[in-house]
Amino acid sequence: MTRITLLFFLFGPIFLYSGKGSADNEVTFEAIISNLNKKALINPLIPINIQKLELLEEIDSLFVADSSLSFNNGIPRYKYPGRAMLLSAILPGLGELYAGSPLKAFLFAGMEAGAWYFWKRTRDNMTTKESEYKRFADEHWDFGRWVTHYYDYYNMRNNPINSMNLYQLYSQETNGIPTMFGSYNSNFEQIIEWNDINNDGIQDDSEIIEWNYTHINDGSHSIAFWDPRYQEFKTFPKNTPPSAESNGYFYCDDFNTASFDCNKFVLDESFNAELDNFIVQKNLHFYENIGKYNQFFMGWDDALFSTENFDVESETVNIGTDIENYIVTALSIDLTEPWNPDTSTIILTNDFSYDKKSGELTINSEINSDLERFQVTFTKASIFDNDGYLVPKSPNKWIYRDLRDEYNQLGKLAGYAMTTVMFNHVISMIDAVITSNLYNRKHNSIKNISIEPILDTDAKLGVGGIKFNFRF
């Protein structure tokens, strides 16, 4: 209860009275005088210091009157801003309800309930989407396929398939001396790309680009797997390129002793023999890596290329829908010297047209009848130029990326819901303080008045006057 201390300071003889109001809560001057006479406090002499202290003690014990007896009858309860803020910190709206604003309480509580409901629904959708993209990856990406075919575009760099330029996805343009693992001299033969800018059929140095292939374990990203040969989880050894000697997983099958380059990389025999027993550690990094980084692309089931023989007399051949790159070739055999026939591969891609929807490859010009062994090599893989960064693209990988993007978007929405909850708490706490103060100003203005003595050690009674406060 609020207590009000009254101190009357008069010049000349000092009259000091303390006590509670009468039964009808009225304090009169006559009652003050009567009580002072009874207590024999009127003294023409100035009290000594001990008497001063005794009188000051009576200020605390007798001069404090219960405000409810004098001022607070019928006035609504005081609303403490700190209590309102604490209630809103626990649950937005409680502080407003305590401060006498049920409408605001409903709004803040509704916002809180809505944000939590949205968060729960979004988290449930995230769980469903996570299961969906993981299931899709498990069905369409394979560890054995990845390691078996990673070096395909390097090993076949001198074949017609090289014209698809897909080797660029696993290579870097050579700048100075080609390296691997950051510091070692590369053991790859550089892949030559010629862009005949001048259209003169002559290779100028300015038209030549050299591409340096990248090893499967050259980079900061890796996949952990259970190696049954060692009975433990491992990753491909860092800074250990395959060479004429195996690094335990790959080795060079055709080493060029003159250039110290490897012409062909293959699987280590023991690795290949146990490949079906390897188990990939499918954690967060695995599901991120296979959809994000180029080096893992060959694990997708539609990233590989296929080769089919066909009869040119049929005029059409169906190679499937959504093919992005294809090459048609045939053999030209020169029998001028029958004992030593000259065989060369002729590219006929421009003599054919392809329909992505029907999947049919059709002859659109006359074909030399002397050509033999017609083949078409095709793939759904293509190069996506992401502002200068080349990204391997295939239908299944792109579906997977979309699923992952949807999952990440749901994660952002869940984060927004949590941000809404946080701000709802903070705003409700601030509003609860404001609302309680407004309530007190409207209903409890009398409580903003206080009267207290001014203590003065130099004064005879230790009291130098009265301080009157009004808070608004």
All structural domains of the chain with their residue ranges: 3-75+444-470, 82-141+394-440, 143-299, 305-380
Residue 141 pLDDT > 60: yes
**Residue type present at position 282:** K
**Pairing mode, strands 325-334 and 316-318:** unpaired
Say whether pLDDT at 370 is over 60.
Answer: yes
Structure tokens at 83: 């209590």
Share of the chain above pLDDT 70, in %: 80
Between 405 and 19, where is the model more confident?
405
CA distance 470 to 83: 23
Is residue 462's pLDDT more than 70?
A: no
Q: Are 78 and 444 in contact (CB under 8 A)?
A: yes
Task: Kindly state the tokens that stand for 326.
Answer: 């294809």
Per-residue pLDDT reduced to its tens digit, 176-231: 788 888 778 888 999 888 877 777 777 777 778 889 999 998 888 899 999 999 99
Backbone phi, then psi, for 245, in 5-degree steps?
A: -100, 140
Strand partners, 332: 344
Chain position carrying tokens 């290579």: 171
Q: How many whole angstroms separate alpha carbon 169 and alpha carbon 47?
A: 103
At 10 the pLDDT is: 33
Give me the sign of the Cα torsion angle 292, 294, 296, 301: positive
Distances (CA, A) of 468 to 21, 460, 462: 20, 21, 18
- Calculate helix-pair angle for 102-140, 395-443, nearest 10 degrees: 170
d(CA 66, CA 28): 16
Confidence of residue 448 (pLDDT cuts 50, 70, 90): low
Residue 54's pLDDT band, with cuts at 50, 70 and 90, is low
Question: What's the mean per-residue pLDDT of the chain?
Answer: 81
Position 62 scores a pLDDT of 40
Does residue 66 register a pLDDT over 90?
no
pLDDT value at residue 42: 42
Q: What is the spatial distance between Cα 40 and Cα 63, in angstroms, rounded to a whole number?
A: 17
pLDDT in tens, 236-246: 988 788 888 88
- Residue whose C-alpha is closest to residue 262's, from 178, 175, 362, 320: 178
pLDDT exceeds 50 at position 410: yes
| Encoded amino acid at 379, one letter | T
What residues contact 139, with CB distance under 8 A and at least 6 apart? none
Give the pLDDT score at 47.
47
Query: What pLDDT does 395 receive?
Result: 96
Task: Report pLDDT digits (tens) over 71-106.
Answer: 344 445 788 999 999 999 999 999 999 999 999 999
pLDDT at 465: 76
Contact assessment for residue 368 and residue 146, using Cβ atoms and an 8 Å cutoff: no
pLDDT value for 192:
85
The residues that bridge with 455 in the sheet, in sequence order, are 463
Angle at 304 between CA 221 and CA 333, to 5 degrees: 135
How do residues 253-290 score in pLDDT, each as one tens digit?
988 888 888 999 999 999 999 999 999 999 999 999 99
Give the Å distances, CA to CA, from 413 to 92, 275, 418: 21, 41, 9
**C-alpha pair distances (Å), 372 with each of 238, 338, 339, 345:** 46, 16, 19, 10
Q: Which residues contact 34 (CB under 8 A, 6 or more apart)?
A: none
